[in-house]
Amino acid sequence: MDTFLFFMRTLWIYYNASWVIENTEHYQNKWLMFLWFMMIYLIPLLFYRPGYIKLIKFFIVEALLTGSMFFYMMAQFQIIGAYDFLYLPLIMIAYVCQIRPYLWIGMFTSIFIFLTGTWLGNHFTENFISIAINTTLFYMMGFCLGRVTIINNKNKELINSIQEKNKALEQYSRRIEELTIMEERNRVSQDLHDSVGHIFTSVITSLDALPFVMRANQQEAEESIREIANLARNGLSDVRKTIHQISPTENRQPLSHSFQQVISEFMKHTGTNVDFKIEGPEKEIGERIKFTFIRCLQEGLTNAIKHGRATQIFVRVTFNEAALQLEIKDNGIGIDSLNLGFGLQGMKDRITALNGVVYIESERNQGTELRCSIPLAKEVMWND
Ligand SMILES: Nc1ncnc2c1ncn2[C@@H]1O[C@H](COP(=O)(O)OP(=O)(O)O)[C@@H](O)[C@H]1O
Ligand SMILES: [Mg+2]
- Locate the domains of the chain by residue range: 2-125, 253-384
Ligand 1 atom with the shortest distance to the CA of 341: 17
Query: In the structure, what pLDDT confidence band is assigned to residue 335 with cuts at 50, 70 and 90?
Result: very high
Query: What residues flank ion ligand 2 with Cβ within 5 A?
Result: 303, 343
Q: Considering only CA atoms, which of 384, 75, 89 is closest in space to residue 247? A: 384
Q: pLDDT at position 382, please? A: 45
Q: Which of 331, 344, 361, 363 to mutate to test the pocket of ligand 1 (most atoms within 8 A of CB)?
A: 344
Total Cβ atoms within 10 A of residue 81: 10
Average pLDDT over residues 50-63: 91
Cα(24) to centroid of ligand 1, in Å? 106
Q: Is the pTM of this model over 0.85?
A: no
Digit-coded pLDDT (tens) for 126-180: 789 999 999 999 999 999 999 999 999 999 999 999 998 888 877 866 776 777 7
Q: pLDDT at position 377, please? A: 64
Q: Which residues line ligand 1 (CB under 6 A)?
A: 303-304, 307-308, 330, 332-335, 338-345, 368
Answer yes or no: is pLDDT of 319 > 50. Answer: yes
CA torsion angle 363 294 246 346 (round to 10):
-20
Average pLDDT over residues 9-36: 90
User: Strands 312-319 and 273-279, how do they pair?
Assistant: parallel
Ligand 1 atom with the shortest distance to the CA of 332: 3
Tell me which residue has its CA closest to atom 25 in ligand 1: 341
- Helices and strands of the chain, counted as H and E runs: 11, 7
Digit-coded pLDDT (tens) for 96-129: 999 989 999 999 999 999 999 999 988 888 789 9
- Kindly indicate whether the domain formed by 253-384 is annotated with CATH number 3.10.20.30: no
